[in-house]
């Protein structure tokens, strides 16, 4: 966070002459030898960057002017002593004093006093966090030579140094730990906390390597810059730039960790003496010379706000450092593209490193103020707080980039894992073990549970078997698919040696968020099952669930799926529930090709419509009788229709059996009352209540299965015409679903494998009542053809009709559907229904 502009008016000072002298071509920065009391020499650096600076005895600042594109030429200061050098040209220069007038720093005249230089008071040495960001960024980037790294500049053990720094600065970043050894009398009160903290530190240190190369020379050089320049009152920006020069051949994360390491050593020395002061003679002796007793006495009173602001700044420094290190690590991740690297690192890390190092310089000044100059020379708490706030903003921005990059990497890794799963599931294998282990895996432990034998089992029990993956949510017991699977599995248990019984079912529950209540529900459900299930929901990984939900894969939404895997591990059907519902075990091995073959053999006939729903149906079909299926909820119409049908059958000499099958989505109470009346009055046979739902669910499955087959054939052949309208079987299914969607009566009449007559209740009753008008045609062409011929005329004479068709909202949903009675396109509406009856 930038502070408001702060002009620091400097007290008049003796004239300061700025003279520059040309540098030699090699650009070694070496000052003339200093007087004995003021010699200052930096540690050696690479040849192109050596410099030794020290002010002459008269305190005149004489920077050597570099030639051409590698120098800066500061203008003479005005009377107010403002120091505002011009920005350096080209990419090779940086201007240490990048700040505008509001940021000029004054170095007051030096006088002798205890502890070092004297500063203009009452104002203390102050640090501003504002800057011209654009100019500053260019100067920072100009210091970096990491791409031209000499072969003798070794990489540093970054992670090890950072972990060690964590241990050292843990005492700074834990205020409670401070109090335990800084505040007199507080040690005993915090013994347990100290002990726990010590254990944590020892555990961290024990995880490090015993020895690793520490760049001691760099630490010393950086330490000299940080702590040596403070006494001369140098601008912290200039000190920061000098430090960046020292570490110019290192990457940005290394630069920051090196500076933080040098700071941590000095910081740790003080806190170590402070901690051992009361117990260790050597620490006590050193502490006396450093006046630690005075600091300890004031730590919990007047110095407390300053300690807190210091700790906050150090915490912010550590947070930004760790973030920079993590971002640099991500640069090397193959999942991060060049664009992402540029957005997350190149544009922001150098500036973040600069401000963090500058904050370390300021924090070091505060530390020296405590340990060397005395408390009266400490920086104001608000100044440290403002700098800490700026670092917090920087950290927040870097963390956002870091989180975004982690999300990108996670998504790309998930995509790779998804592609690997898809490859394994969609590639033939010798057996199905490998694909099953991809779907169900948990720490090499048995992943499945045998619900019948109540024991945990391995995937090998499914080896070389057809496996049906029953995928659903937890609220599955009342679903139609559950009842279909249950009925088929009962049939399998009854005849286990039949070829059609050589398959196994595995229930795979899919839940977005698992809770204790849902775990309990899962365990209760599997207790009532007889097939296999996953031992624990966690054996199905999030990536597998993503594959299951993916629209172009298995497309699981809410409705249960029955996905079929053959003995070789190939997925042969992504939802076989409809073919199982239509044909039962005849559909084994439940492949898409088998479904296609079954439909190719089908015609619109009574055997397809009624199949083996009831034993009476099987007998009637075998005996060649005419069968009339009828429904609706109009009891008066039912009485009239059944009497008329029996009369026509007797007059035409046919054997006719009537069976009441209700309607789609029936209300249990209403339909059961109708069935009771039919049985009591002996009007006809009735289908059992628990089979009425199956009759209509099976018709919906026919709609889905047949419709999908027609669409696939149309796409394959390139004939994208309305195949639903031209297909006789599909038209028969649509008619039946239209009948079932209405409360009115309806009827279908036919024999086992021949054609059928179908009509709504009004038209069918009228045709039967007028049998005398078409009875002669029965002898000529047959009963069903004659009835159909007369019904055609009834349709043409009908003044109007209203036909509804209610379809499930899942699966096949065509744009248009033709009316089953007149052939016109039906209007389309959306209906929401709630029925608790």
Tens digit of pLDDT for each residue in 763-777?
999 999 999 999 999
Specify whether the CB–CB gap between 722 and 641 falls below 8 A. no
Question: What's the rounded Cα separation, in Å, for the pair 624 and 607?
Answer: 11
Specify whether the CB–CB gap between 218 and 247 falls below 8 A. yes
The pLDDT of residue 87 is: 35
The pLDDT of residue 230 is: 66
DSSP 8-state symbol, 679: H
Q: Which residues of the chain have a pLDDT value below 50?
A: 1-131, 175-190, 836
The pLDDT of residue 375 is: 56
Instruction: Label residue 26 exposed, middle or buried (CB < 10 Å: 0-12, 13-18, 19+).
Output: exposed
Specify whether the CB–CB gap between 703 and 734 falls below 8 A. yes
Task: Point out which residues pair with 628 in neighbouring strands.
Answer: 658, 749
427-569: which CATH architecture? 3-Layer(aba) Sandwich (3.40)
DSSP string, 313-342: HHHHHHHHHHHHHHHHHHHT-TTS-HHHHI
The pLDDT of residue 797 is: 78
The pLDDT of residue 440 is: 94
The pLDDT of residue 276 is: 85
DSSP string, 178-190: HHHHHSTT-TGGG
Tens digit of pLDDT for each residue in 641-667?
999 999 999 999 999 999 999 988 888
Tokens 């430090």, located at residue: 243
Query: 3-state DSSP: the chain helix, strand, coil percent, rounded to 5?
Result: 55, 10, 40
Specify whether the CB–CB gap between 95 and 139 falls below 8 A. yes
Specify whether the CB–CB gap between 737 and 703 falls below 8 A. yes
Question: What's the rounded Cα separation, in Å, for the pair 320 and 314?
Answer: 10
SS (H, E, C) 553-619: CCCCCCCCEEEEECCCCCEEECCCHHHHHHHHHHHCCCCHHHHHHHHHCCCCCHHHHHCCCCHHHHH
Residue 126 CB contacts under 8 Å (≥ 6 apart), including other chains: 6, 8, 379, 380, 383
CA-based radius of gyration for the chain: 44
Neighbours of 561 (CB within 10 A): 23
Cα dihedral across residues 271, 277, 282, 287: positive or negative: positive
The helix/strand/coil state of 475 is: coil
Q: Domain ranges for the chain, please list them.
A: 154-408, 427-569, 602-826
The helix/strand/coil state of 683 is: coil
Residue 427 CB contacts under 8 Å (≥ 6 apart), including other chains: 570
Residue 372 CB contacts under 8 Å (≥ 6 apart), including other chains: 115, 116, 290
Tokens 């054997």, located at residue: 655
DSSP 8-state symbol, 91: T
Tokens 């030898």, located at residue: 33
Give the H or E element holding residue 356: helix 349-368
Question: What's the rounded Cα separation, in Å, for the pair 604 and 753?
Answer: 8
The helix/strand/coil state of 759 is: strand
């Amino acid at each position: 966070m930038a502070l408001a502009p702060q002009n620091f008016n400097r007290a008049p000072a003796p004239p300061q002459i700025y003279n520059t002298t040309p540098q030699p071509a090699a650009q070694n920065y070496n000052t003339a030898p200093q007087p004995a009391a003021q010699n200052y020499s930096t540690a050696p650096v690479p040849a192109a960057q050596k410099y030794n600076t020290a002010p002459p005895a008269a305190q005149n600042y004489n920077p050597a002017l570099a030639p051409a594109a590698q120098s800066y030429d500061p203008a003479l200061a005005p009377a107010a002593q403002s120091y505002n050098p011009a920005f350096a040209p080209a990419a090779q220069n940086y201007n240490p004093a990048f700040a505008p007038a509001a940021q000029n720093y004054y170095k007051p005249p030096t006088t002798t006093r205890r502890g070092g230089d004297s500063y203009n008071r009452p104002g203390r040495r102050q640090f501003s966090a504002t800057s011209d960001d654009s100019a500053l960024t260019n100067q920072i980037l100009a210091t970096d030579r990491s791409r031209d790294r000499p072969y003798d500049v070794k990489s540093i053990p970054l992670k090890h140094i950072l972990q060690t720094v964590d241990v050292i600065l843990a005492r700074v970043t834990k205020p409670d730990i401070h109090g335990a050894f800084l505040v007199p009398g507080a040690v005993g009160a915090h013994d347990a906390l100290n002990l726990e903290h010590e254990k944590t530190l020892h555990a961290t240190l024990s995880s490090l390597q015993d020895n690793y190369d520490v760049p001691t020379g760099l630490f010393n050089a950086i330490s000299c810059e940080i702590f040596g320049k403070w006494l001369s009152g140098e601008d912290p920006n200039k000190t920061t730039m000098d430090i960046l020069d020292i570490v110019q051949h290192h990457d940005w994360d290394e630069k920051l960790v090196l500076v933080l390491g040098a700071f941590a050593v000095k910081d740790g020395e003080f806190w170590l003496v402070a901690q051992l002061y009361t117990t260790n003679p050597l620490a006590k002796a050193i502490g006396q010379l450093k006046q630690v007793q005075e600091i300890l006495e004031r730590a919990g009173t007047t110095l407390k706000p300053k300690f807190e602001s210091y700790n906050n700044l150090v915490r912010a420094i550590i947070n930004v450092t760790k973030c920079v290190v993590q971002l640099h690590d991500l640069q090397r991740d193959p999942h991060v593209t060049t664009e992402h690297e540029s957005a997350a690192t190149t544009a922001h890390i150098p500036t973040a490193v600069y401000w963090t190092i500058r904050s370390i310089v300021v924090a070091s000044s505060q530390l020296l103020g405590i340990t060397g100059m005395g408390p009266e020379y400490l920086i104001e708490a608000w100044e440290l707080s403002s700098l800490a706030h700026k670092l917090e903003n920087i950290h927040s921005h870097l963390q956002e980039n870091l989180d975004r990059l982690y999300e990108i990497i996670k998504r790309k890794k998930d995509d790779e894992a998804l592609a690997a799963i898809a490859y394994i599931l969609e590639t033939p294998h010798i057996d199905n073990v490998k694909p099953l282990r991809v779907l169900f895996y948990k720490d090499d432990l048995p992943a499945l549970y045998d619900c019948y034998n109540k024991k945990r089992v391995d995937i090998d029990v499914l080896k070389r078997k057809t496996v049906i993956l029953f995928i659903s949510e937890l609220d599955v017991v009342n679903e139609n698919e559950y009842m279909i699977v249950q009925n088929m599995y009962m049939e399998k248990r009854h005849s286990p040696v039949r070829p059609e019984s050589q398959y196994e079912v595995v229930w795979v529950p899919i839940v977005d968020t698992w809770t204790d209540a849902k775990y309990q529900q899962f365990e209760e459900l599997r207790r009532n099952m007889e097939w296999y299930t996953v031992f624990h929901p966690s054996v199905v990984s999030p990536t597998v669930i993503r594959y299951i939900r993916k629209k172009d894969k298995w497309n699981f939404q809410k409705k249960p799926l029955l996905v079929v895997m053959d003995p070789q591990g190939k997925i042969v059907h992504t939802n076989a529930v409809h073919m199982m519902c239509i044909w039962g075990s005849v559909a084994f091995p439940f492949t898409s090709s088998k479904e296609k073959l079954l439909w190719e053999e089908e015609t619109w006939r009574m055997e397809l419509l009624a199949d083996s729903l009831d034993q009476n149906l099987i007998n009637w079909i075998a005996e060649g009788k005419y069968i009339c299926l009828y429904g609706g909820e109009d009891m008066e119409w039912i009485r009239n229709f059944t009497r008329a049908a029996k009369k026509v059958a007797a007059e035409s000499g046919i054997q006719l059996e009537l069976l009441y099958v209700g309607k789609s989505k029936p209300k249990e109470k209403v339909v059961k009352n109708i069935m009771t009346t039919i049985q009591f009055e002996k009007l006809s046979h009735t289908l059992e209540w628990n089979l009425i739902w199956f009759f209509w669910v099976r018709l919906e499955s026919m709609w889905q299965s047949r419709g999908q087959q027609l669409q696939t054939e149309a796409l394959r052949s390139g004939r994208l015409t309305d195949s639903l309208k031209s297909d006789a079987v599909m038209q028969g299914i649509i008619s039946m679903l239209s009948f079932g969607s209405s409360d009115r009566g309806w009827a279908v009449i036919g024999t086992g494998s021949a054609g059928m007559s179908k009509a709504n209740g009004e038209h069918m009753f009228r045709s039967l009542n007028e049998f005398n008008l078409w009875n002669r045609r029965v002898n000529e062409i047959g009963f069903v053809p004659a009835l159909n011929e007369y019904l055609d005329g009834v349709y043409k004479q009908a003044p109007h009709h209203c036909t509804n068709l209610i379809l499930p909202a899942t699966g096949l949903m065509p744009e248009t559907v033709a009316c089953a009675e007149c052939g016109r396109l039906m209007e389309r509406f959306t209906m929401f229904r709630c029925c608790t009856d």
